[in-house]
Chains A and B, each alone.
Chain A
Amino acid sequence: MAVMAEPVAAHVKRSSLWTRAFESRNFLGAMFMVPAIAILILFLAYPLALGFWLGMTDAKIGGAGRYIGFQNFVSLSKDSVFWLSVFNTIFYTVAASAVKFAIGLYLALLLNERLPFKSIVRAIVLLPFVVPTVLSAIAFWWIYDSQFSIISWVLLKAGLITHYIDFLGDPWNARWSVVAANIWRGVPFVAITLLAGLQTISPSLYEAANLDGATNLQRFRHITLPMLSPIIAVVMTFSVLMTFTDFQLIYTITRGGPINATHLMATLSFQRAITGGNLGEGAAISNAMIPFLVAAILLSFFGLQRSRWQQGGRD
Chain B
Amino acid sequence: MTITTGDGTARDAELLRVRNLTVTFPGRRSAPWRRPGKVVAVNGLDLDLAGGETLGLVGESGSGKTTTARAILRLLRPSGGTIEAAGFTVGAFGRRVPLGYRRAVQAVFQDPLGSLDPTKVIGDILAEPLAVHFGLRGTERDRRVAALLEQVGLAGHHLRRYPYELSGGQRQRVSIARALAVEPKLIVLDEPVSALDVSVQSQVVNLLEDVQERTGVAYLFVAHDLAVVRHACDRIAVMYRSRIVEEGPADRICESPAHPYTEALLAAVPDPDPARQRIQRRRRRELGAPAPTGAVPATGCPFASRCPHRMPVCTESFPDWTPVTGGGRVACHLHGGSPTTPEET
The finding on whether chains A and B are genuine partners in a shared complex, rather than unrelated, reads no
Task: Tell me the A residues contacting B by CB distance below 8 Å.
Answer: none
Binding site for A on B (CB under 8 A): none
